[in-house]
């Protein structure tokens, strides 16, 4: 199904989650959202739910899926918080998630609602071209995806290892889909990724190392997601971004209860909090997240979000096709293209 990700705003609504934990209750959250955002939500949720303790494990979204899958017989996580709809859809199909319909479900974009209430989107995550702003002037930075392949950037591109990363998988699969749509064959997409590999200085282990290497000018460019770029920019990293002129993939970043969750009641409460008006505005203001709720008051939204929504050109993708063929494309890239340049 083709999805149109419109970015929304008006009308005030209110919603809250009741404090519902017993003393000593522990909630385990698997998430790719990084220490800053996870600590932010841990502290806010624990304040609202006295006696609750949130323990989070930070890893790439593909790694979250792999780990939940490996723990199927003895689940260790209660909530999966963050990752592309493609990955959540795969988890739902494999029976790894439990249905839960939060009170805010009808307030989010229709395309942010998973089947059978198995997951719901809480953020929209655009992909962007990122560069070191001390070394590259904004007008000289690549303005679109194909510009990254220009010979002037040879050996200057850093790429987060795509195999454990939902963000990079989305970008690579977008490239494959774009080539397939234009030519009817996968060869064009693979050739684009082969050329990107030739430009790439290093496949970086995790986002924290990626930001550090870009800041030290060990590389000048990367392809990444907008919220993380804005967050580290606010921390003083000399990074800036370009929204690609031809359009960019915008993923639905979701949340769900893990099948077999030991702390089911706390898991539901955490999901209620993350998607509540308070939780969405906390993410917008402190973690640079683009909310899926359509009823947040426009005068509560920061200038950066209004500006991004004006710049953004969401790319229409066949997400069902990406789900069906994405793993095959990634396996081929890993076996036949990675490091070949």
Torsion of CA 137, 139, 142, 147, to 10 degrees: -130
Are 296 and 197 part of one and the same domain?
no
Are 109 and 149 part of one and the same domain?
no
pLDDT tens profile 118-139: 999 999 999 999 999 999 999 9
Q: What is residue 134's three-state secondary structure?
A: coil
**Among the listed residues 94, 99, 93, the one whose alpha carbon sits nearest the alpha carbon of residue 116:** 99
Residue 168 lies in a domain: yes
Are 132 and 234 part of one and the same domain?
yes
Spatial separation of the C-alpha atoms in residues 303 and 164, rounded to whole Å: 32
Q: Which residue has the higher pLDDT, 220 or 311?
A: 220
pLDDT tens profile 233-279: 999 999 999 999 999 999 999 999 999 999 999 999 999 999 999 99
What is the Cα Rg of the chain in Å? 20
CB atoms within 10 A of CB 94: 13
What was the pLDDT predicted at 91?
A: 97
Mean pLDDT of 55-69: 95
Are 137 and 72 part of one and the same domain?
no
Are 93 and 222 part of one and the same domain?
no
CB atoms within 10 A of CB 171: 25
What was the pLDDT predicted at 4?
A: 34
Residue 18 lies in a domain: no
Are 149 and 91 part of one and the same domain?
no
Instruction: Calculate what percentage of the chain has a pLDDT beyond 90.
Output: 87
Are 327 and 227 part of one and the same domain?
yes
- The structure tokens listed for 171 are 């970008």
Residue 187 lies in a domain: yes
**Among the listed residues 291, 301, 167, the one whose alpha carbon sits nearest the alpha carbon of residue 228:** 167
Residue 132 lies in a domain: yes
Are 280 and 212 part of one and the same domain?
no
> What's the angle, vertex CA 209, arms to CA 207 and CA 211, rounded to 5?
70
What was the pLDDT predicted at 302?
A: 93
Q: Average per-residue pLDDT in the chain?
A: 91
Residue 12 lies in a domain: no
Are 218 and 282 part of one and the same domain?
no
- Domain extent at residue 234: 125-249+315-336
pLDDT at residue 20 is higher than 50: no
Are 120 and 137 part of one and the same domain?
no
**In angstroms, what CA-CA distances link 168 with 96, 126, 332?**
23, 12, 15
In total, how many domains does the chain have? 2
pTM of the predicted structure, to 2 decimals: 0.84
Are 231 and 84 part of one and the same domain?
no
Residue 15 lies in a domain: no
Contact 102, 112 (CB under 8 A): no
**In angstroms, what CA-CA distances link 8 with 3, 120, 197, 243, 306?**
15, 17, 37, 18, 10
The residues facing 204 across adjacent strands are 160
Are 144 and 194 part of one and the same domain?
yes
- DSSP code of residue 257: E
């Amino acid at each position: 199904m083709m999805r149109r990700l419109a970015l929304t705003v008006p009308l005030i609504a209110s919603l809250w989650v009741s404090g519902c934990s017993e003393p000593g209750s522990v909630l385990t959250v698997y998430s790719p959202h990084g220490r800053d955002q996870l600590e932010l939500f841990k502290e806010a949720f624990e304040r609202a739910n006295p006696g609750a303790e949130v323990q989070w494990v930070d890893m790439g979204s593909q790694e979250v899926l792999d780990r939940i899958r490996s723990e199927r017989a003895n689940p260790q996580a209660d909530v999966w918080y963050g990752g592309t709809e493609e990955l959540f859809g795969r988890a739902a199909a494999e029976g790894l998630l439990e249905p839960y319909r939060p009170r805010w479900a009808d307030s989010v974009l229709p395309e942010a609602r998973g089947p059978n209430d198995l997951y719901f989107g809480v953020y929209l995550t655009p992909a962007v071209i990122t560069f070191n702003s001390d070394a590259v002037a904004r007008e000289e930075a690549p303005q679109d995806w194909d510009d990254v392949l220009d010979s002037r950037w040879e050996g200057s591109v850093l790429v987060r290892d795509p195999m454990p990363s939902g963000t990079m998988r989305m970008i690579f699969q977008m490239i494959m889909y774009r080539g397939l749509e234009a030519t009817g064959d996968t060869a064009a997409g693979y050739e684009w990724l082969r050329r990107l590999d030739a430009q790439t200085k290093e496949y970086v282990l995790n986002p924290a190392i990626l930001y550090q290497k870009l800041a030290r000018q060990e590389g000048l460019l990367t392809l990444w997601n907008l919220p993380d770029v804005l967050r580290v920019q606010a921390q003083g990293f000399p990074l800036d971004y370009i929204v690609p002129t031809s359009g960019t993939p915008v993923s639905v970043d979701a949340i769900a209860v893990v099948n077999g969750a030991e702390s089911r009641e706390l898991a539901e409460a955490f999901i209620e909090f993350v998607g509540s008006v308070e939780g969405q505005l906390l993410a917008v203001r402190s973690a640079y997240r683009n909310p899926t709720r359509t009823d947040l008051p426009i005068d509560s939204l920061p200038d950066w979000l209004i500006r991004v929504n004006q710049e953004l050109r969401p790319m229409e993708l066949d997400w069902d096709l990406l789900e069906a063929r994405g793993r095959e494309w990634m396996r081929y890239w890993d076996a036949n293209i990675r490091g070949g340049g």
